Structures are given as C-alpha cells and as structure tokens.
C-alpha cells in the first residue's frame, strides 16, 4: 500500500473534522465530485488554489466556524450547480412591451457590420484608448496547470460543442495580468474567455467566425435584470398559452382530466434484414432492469417474425411512430403510457401545418458535409425536418413572439434561451430511460428519439440562464466587444495592442463547427463564411496541410497584435500526432516560443472519452511568448527523435494515475489519457516527434499492465 500524499492527508483531515463527504466538499470548492474522488485516491493533484481553499476550510472548522454551502454559493462568482440560492428574479416592477407585429430580425438589432452592439466602433476605440500602454505581465510562464469543472450555472446556461470552464480561464488571466490589461480570444466560440475576463475586471475582445457563436458569446458576456427576463419569459409564454394547450394536451389515464403533455417518445419502424418484414423497433429491443439505470436498448435481438438474431445498427428504417407519452397529473410520480387514440389524432391534426408561423420557420437545405450525410440519409434534408410537426410549430410561434418584444436586450436574451434548446427539442434527441438529453457535437438521428415539450424546455432553460445572470453575470466589471470574422484577418486591431491572448482553437477534424452551427444559423438567418475556417474537412477539400496554413495565418495575426514580451496561452488536444506536429509548427512559424506546457483539466471526460479507447482526454495548455526581439531560436525539425513510451514512464515522477468511472459501469483502470497529455507535453517542449494516442496507449498498456504492473 503506497504512502499517503500531503494532499491526501489534508483531505482526510478535512473529512474527519468538517463532516463533509466528497460530494459536499466538491460543492464547497466549486469543483466536481469526480475531481475530489481522484484527489482522495491520489490519482492526480489539485492546483495550489484548491490546496489553499482546503487549508482555509480546515482552519475555519477548527476555529468553530459553521460551513454554510448555500450561503457561500450566493457570494461565489461561479456558483456551483445544485446549490440553489433564493432567487431575486421575481417582482419586476417594469413592463414588458410586445409589439403587435414582429420587429426586425434579431441579429440586425444587435450588430452593425462585424461588431456587436449599437456603438461597436466607439466602444472599440474606447477600449484601445484605455490600453494605450502595456499592462504588467510575468517574465516567465506561470508554472501551474489548471483544474476547473463544468458544474457551474454559467457553464450549464447555454450549450456549445466545446467549452473551457471560465473559472479556470479566470485563474490564468489573474496570474498573467495581475493588475489590468486587454485580452483577446481570436477563436472565441461561446465566449468563455469573455466571461472569465469580465469577472476578473479585464477588458476583452472576442473574435469568432460563426455568427451563431458570436451571438452566444455576445449574450454570455452581456447583462440583464433577472427579474425582467423572468417577466419576459412569462409574457412570451403567456401570449402563446392557447397554442401551448392545443399542441401539448393529453388526457390523464387515472382521472380523465386534460393535462399537459411533457414528452412523446418516437421509435422508427425497421425491416428485418433476413425476412424483410417490418416491425416497430421499440417493441423488440427494450429490456428492463431492477432500476431505471439498468434499463437498456439491446444492440442485438431476435426478429419478431423469423426469429433470426438481428443487429440494431444494420436495420433499415422506414417511418417513426409515437410509442410512449409522459405527463404528470393526479399522481405524485410522472406517468409514462402508450399514446391514446386522441394523442394520435392530435399528432395527425398538427401535421396539417395550421399552427406554423410561416415567416419564422427555418428553410435551409443541408449541403454536403461530414456530419450531414447521416441525417440526410434518414430524410432530414432540410433543417425544418429536424423537428416533429408539433415542435416545429411550437418553435416557430415562440420565435415569432420573441421578435415582438420591444426591448432589444430582453428580446436578445429570450433568443439566447431559444438557441439554448438546440438539439434537445429535435429528432436528434435520443431517448434515455432515466431522462435528460445530451447535445452532441455531431448530427446523429437515433432510432428512438424524445420529442420534448418545447415550452417546458424553454422555461427550464430560462431558469438556468437566470441562475447565470444572478451569479456570474452579476459580478461583471470589465468591458467586452465581440467581432464576427476570421482569425486569419484581425485588421480591425492595430499592432501590439493586446496584453494577453487566451484561446481554444479548432482541434483539426474533431468538430465541424460550421456544420453544427447550421441548426442555430438557420433560425438566425445568417451563416458562417467557411472560406477561412481552420478545419480538416474532406467535403470542403481541406486537408491537414491547409488546416496548418490557416492556423499559421491566424497565429501570425495573434503575434502581430500581441505586445512584445507578452503571452499567448493556447488550449489544445488531439489524438493524432500529425495534427499536434502541425499546431506546433504553426506556433513556431508565427514567431512565438513555447515556454511551458501544462494540463488544463476539465475534471470530467466526455462520454466519448469514457467509452472510446482511442479518444484522447485532458487538454494541454501551451504557454507561448512573443519575444522582445525578433528571430526566436525555437524550431521544429523533421529529423527529431521520438521519446519512447518506456523512457517517458521511467522518467515521470509520481504514481500512475487511475481513472474511476463514477457514472459508467466499468472497473477503474489506468488513466492513459492523462499519461498521454503528459507525454505530449514532454515531446512538444523537447521538440521531439510524437506518437498518436492509439499507439501510445497500446505501448503503455503493454508496459504497465502486462510486464511491469502498476505502481
């Protein structure tokens, strides 16, 4: 049995004296339960900020001070999800005005040209003028990684394909710019760098290629009276009360009263690959366990007609049919029953399109794309096909009502709630026995999908955004400006005007952002110009070389606008050695030096990382400096050696990290993803060639599990 580390001893003392369990401690720290478990086991070490919090907590307990999780969460900038504070979002004394007719389309009300805000050019000039002189920064790279979880109200407020937790970014900003300074994120995505900057009091400029992402970033970094937004949500949904009743009413099977329909489950009919006969997949592939978490859909099962064993993934689909409805009425628990004849008649009547708000429906044919072939193959050739007739009608009516709101900021935040629904209310929302719905970074049409009540989902997501407004956004002090444009051309910024760049650029071919943003942009009616999208995408005919060229152009622009001696912090991860080598070359060719590499631990892997053996995990944070003199000495060589996995394992310090699976029924095993991140960091700093994750994992597994065991 290995000796306890200093952190483990500190954690044990906290547990012994405070009465907190690991989940309670996670809430106290504003971190994830997953991380606390790993610290307790000694798999990974927390950052110095966490250690300081632990020591402070221990001192408070020994001094007899009471631990008030809810009270503490009220005053925390990045409040922990799950500790609900008393809301102030009631009692609005103003009036939410709705026009008789919809106003101009939302984005035209929010931006002029590429800059967001009514006075974008004036605000840009004011920000640049305020930062005419360089801010204080550090001479050497900050020697510490970051650990920050996704369990905050802000992270939960609005989905995006990938996000860096803003409280982790805030740690970096404070250390590189302790007093003041102007920050830039050239690949802003959903705007988390902007959120972090505004909470730390820094001014920030966000640049983003996608109009949809720019809208999300603009809203994430804006403020709104929570009570006003609460009133606006009630005004909009209240104006559609009759439509809501018409679309989402079912009859309680127990008391026979009308009640609101919460969801409908749809299953595709499929044809047997052996006998060719049709059946409803739902009827044959369900298996129930003792608890809802043990319920599952089988991957293989016998055909109900010919009894041959079938693989679900190989079955041809025909049409989807409703198989289950959910509601809550006179029972304490939610009722889930087969649809009645009245339910089926309602669906048929809605399909006549009588509830559609015609001018507020997306009408966008899917082009060719890497992520678009699967939905097109199943008949989803236009964005409006992504929705059932009922949900398309509800979304169109809701979108129209939002455009009737007179106040632009309120209308924009209602639009923010609307876009937060994303895949949750589409046919892409896979049904789960235990509830919930995930937004994945691809368009996949499941065999069995959940048709969620649009109005119920809208109200729930509004509550999440109001939580963000009451906590994180409430503490904003720094200024933020959003620009829509390519990072390859930052000509709206002068030379040497920025004090720090923090960015999370596209990871090669990992996510096709412009394709995924079509679902939002078809409602917003403004689309991404993909000419300079930095991506590996065979349909766009962009290979790894072109990705490298675009990243190099972008990083050269970063070099131009950054002040000498200041820092670019770049967060990146990819499982392919070729992409890693290209991003390193882009950084060096742009003129930067790579001074340090640390892990940016998001504290909880994606589902794909849990179940896929060849998906890399923890992101790396590259600390890159713009030299005070030209011609940096660092280069990248094609003849560089490869650090062997055995040499890496023999030379690393500390115990081998082990990954506990808290939400997936798998035995704990060695955390090869963290090891790979450490290996990449060593290779990049030593300018060595790299192995891809699959090769690294195979060799490390052979060494650690088959030959030498686990330390």
In a domain, 475, yes or no: no
Last residue of one domain, picked from the residues 636, 668, 685: 636
7 Cβ neighbours under 8 A, 6+ residues apart: 39, 42, 45, 46, 51, 54
Shared domain check, 367 and 267: yes
Strands 182-185 and 498-503: parallel
Give the total number of structural domains in the chain.
Answer: 4
| Domain CATH for 525 | 3.40.50.150
pLDDT score for 522 = 97
In a domain, 221, yes or no: no
Report DSSP state, residue 385. G
Shared domain check, 489 and 428: no
Shared domain check, 404 and 318: yes
9 Cβ neighbours under 8 A, 6+ residues apart: none
Instruction: Specify the 3-state DSSP secondary structure of 493.
Output: coil
Shared domain check, 495 and 463: no
Write a three-state SS string for 265-329: EEEEEEECCCCCCEEEHHHHHEECCCCHHHCEECCEEECCCCCCEEEHHHCEEEEEEEEEEEECC
pLDDT score for 23 = 80
Shared domain check, 682 and 628: no
Q: For the chain, which residues score pLDDT lower than 70?
A: 1-3, 43, 68-76, 80-89, 436-439, 603-617, 630-640, 659-668, 707-711
With vertex at residue 18, the alpha carbon angle to CA 17 and CA 20, rounded to the nearest 5 degrees, is 130
Last residue of one domain, picked from the residues 409, 434, 468: 468
Shared domain check, 544 and 460: no
265 burial via Cβ count (<10 Å: 0-12, 13-18, 19+): buried
- Residue pair 203/497 in contact (Cβ under 8 Å)? The answer is no
In a domain, 90, yes or no: no
The encoded tokens of residue 546 equal 């072109």
Report the number of secondary-structure helices (H) and strands (E) in the chain: 27, 22
In a domain, 524, yes or no: yes
Cα-flanking dihedrals φ and ψ of residue 595, to 5°? -95, -25
- Residue pair 443/522 in contact (Cβ under 8 Å)? The answer is no
| Domain CATH for 18 | 1.10.260.40
pLDDT score for 31 = 72
Shared domain check, 433 and 517: no
Shared domain check, 182 and 244: no
Report DSSP state, residue 4. P
In a domain, 82, yes or no: no
Q: Which residues pair with 620 in a beta bridge?
A: 572, 599
Shared domain check, 376 and 296: yes
Shared domain check, 275 and 415: yes
pLDDT score for 664 = 47
Residue 179 CA to residue 298 CA, distance in Å, equals 57
pLDDT score for 86 = 54
With vertex at residue 423, the alpha carbon angle to CA 509 and CA 228, rounded to the nearest 5 degrees, is 120
Shared domain check, 576 and 499: yes
In a domain, 180, yes or no: yes
Shared domain check, 524 and 504: yes
Identify the CA nearest to 646 among candidates 578, 577, 580, 696: 696
pLDDT score for 668 = 57
Other Cβ atoms closer than 10 A to 663: 11
What residues make up the domain containing 131? 122-215+480-613+620-636
In a domain, 484, yes or no: yes
Helical ranges in 471-568 per DSSP H: 513-516, 518-524, 544-561
pLDDT score for 667 = 54
Cα-based distances in Å from 402 to 157, 369, 370: 19, 31, 33
In a domain, 498, yes or no: yes
Last residue of one domain, picked from the residues 468, 498, 533: 468
């Amino acid at each position: 049995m290995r000796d306890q580390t200093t952190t483990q001893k500190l954690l044990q003392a906290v547990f012994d004296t405070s009465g907190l369990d690991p989940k309670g401690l996670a809430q106290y720290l504003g971190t994830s339960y997953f991380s606390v478990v790993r610290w307790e086991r000694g798999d990974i070490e927390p950052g110095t900020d966490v250690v300081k919090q632990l020591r402070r907590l221990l001192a408070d307990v020994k001094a007899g001070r009471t631990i008030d999780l809810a009270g503490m969460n009220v005053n925390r900038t990045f409040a922990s999800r799950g500790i609900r504070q008393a809301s102030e979002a009631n009692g609005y004394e103003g009036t939410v005005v709705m026009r008789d007719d919809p106003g101009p389309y939302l984005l035209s009300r929010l931006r002029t040209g590429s800059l967001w805000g009514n006075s974008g050019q004036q605000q840009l000039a004011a920000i640049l003028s305020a930062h005419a002189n360089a801010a204080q920064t550090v001479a050497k790279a900050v020697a510490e990684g970051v650990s920050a979880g996704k369990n905050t109200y802000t992270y939960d407020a609005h989905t995006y394909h990938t996000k860096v937790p803003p409280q982790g970014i805030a740690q970096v900003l404070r250390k590189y710019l302790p007093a003041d300074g102007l920050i830039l994120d050239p690949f802003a995505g959903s705007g988390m760098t902007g959120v972090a900057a505004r909470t730390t009091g820094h001014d920030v400029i966000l640049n983003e290629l996608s109009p949809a992402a720019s809208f999300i970033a603009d809203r994430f970094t804006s403020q709104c009276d929570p009570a006003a937004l609460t009133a606006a949500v009630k005004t909009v949904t209240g104006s559609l009360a009759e439509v809501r009743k018409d679309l989402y009413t079912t009859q309680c099977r127990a008391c026979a009263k009308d009640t609101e329909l919460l969801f409908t489950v749809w299953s595709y009919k499929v044809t047997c690959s052996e006998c060719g006969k049709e059946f409803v997949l739902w009827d044959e592939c369900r298996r129930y366990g003792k608890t809802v978490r043990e319920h599952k859909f089988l991957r293989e099962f016998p055909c109900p007609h010919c009894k041959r064993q079938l693989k679900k993934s190989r079955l041809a689909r025909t049409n989807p049919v409703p198989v289950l409805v959910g509601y809550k009425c006179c029972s304490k628990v939610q009722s889930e029953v087969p649809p009645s004849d009245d339910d089926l008649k309602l669906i048929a009547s809605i399909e006549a399109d009588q509830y559609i708000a015609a001018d507020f429906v997306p009408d966008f044919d899917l082009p060719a794309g890497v992520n678009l072939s699967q939905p097109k193959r199943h008949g989803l050739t236009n964005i409006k096909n992504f929705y059932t007739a009922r949900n398309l009608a509800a979304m169109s009516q809701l979108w129209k009502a939002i455009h009737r709101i007179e106040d632009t900021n309120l209308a924009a935040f209602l639009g923010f709630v609307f876009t937060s629904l994303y895949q949750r209310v589409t046919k892409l929302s896979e049904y789960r026995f235990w509830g919930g719905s995930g937004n994945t970074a691809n368009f996949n049409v499941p065999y069995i999908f959940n048709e969620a009540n649009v109005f119920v989902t809208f109200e729930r997501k509004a509550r999440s955004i109001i939580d963000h407004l009451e906590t994180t956004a409430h503490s904003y002090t720094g200024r933020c400006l959003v620009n829509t444009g390519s990072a390859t051309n930052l000509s709206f910024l002068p030379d040497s005007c920025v004090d720090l760049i923090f960015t999370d650029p596209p990871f090669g071919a990992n996510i096709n952002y412009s394709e995924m943003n079509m679902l939002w942009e078809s409602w917003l009616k403004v689309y991404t110009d993909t000419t300079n999208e930095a991506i590996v995408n065979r349909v766009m005919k962009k290979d790894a070389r072109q990705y490298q060229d675009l990243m190099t152009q972008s990083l050269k622009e970063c070099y131009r606008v950054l002040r000498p001696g200041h820092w670019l912090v770049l967060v990146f991860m990819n499982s392919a050695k070729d992409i890693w080598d290209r991003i390193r070359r882009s950084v060096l060719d742009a003129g930067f030096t790579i001074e340090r590499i640390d892990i940016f631990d998001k504290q909880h892997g994606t589902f794909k990382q849990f179940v896929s053996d060849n998906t890399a995990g923890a992101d790396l944070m590259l600390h890159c400096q713009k030299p005070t003199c030209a011609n940096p000495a660092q280069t990248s060589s094609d003849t560089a050696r490869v650090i062997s996995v055995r040499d890496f394992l023999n030379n690393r310090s500390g115990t081998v990290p082990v990954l506990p699976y808290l939400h997936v029924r798998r035995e704990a095993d060695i955390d090869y993803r963290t090891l790979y991140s450490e290996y990449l960091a060593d290779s990049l700093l030593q300018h060595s060639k790299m192995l891809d994750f699959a090769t690294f994992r195979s060799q490390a597994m052979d060494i650690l599990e088959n030959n030498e065991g686990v330390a």
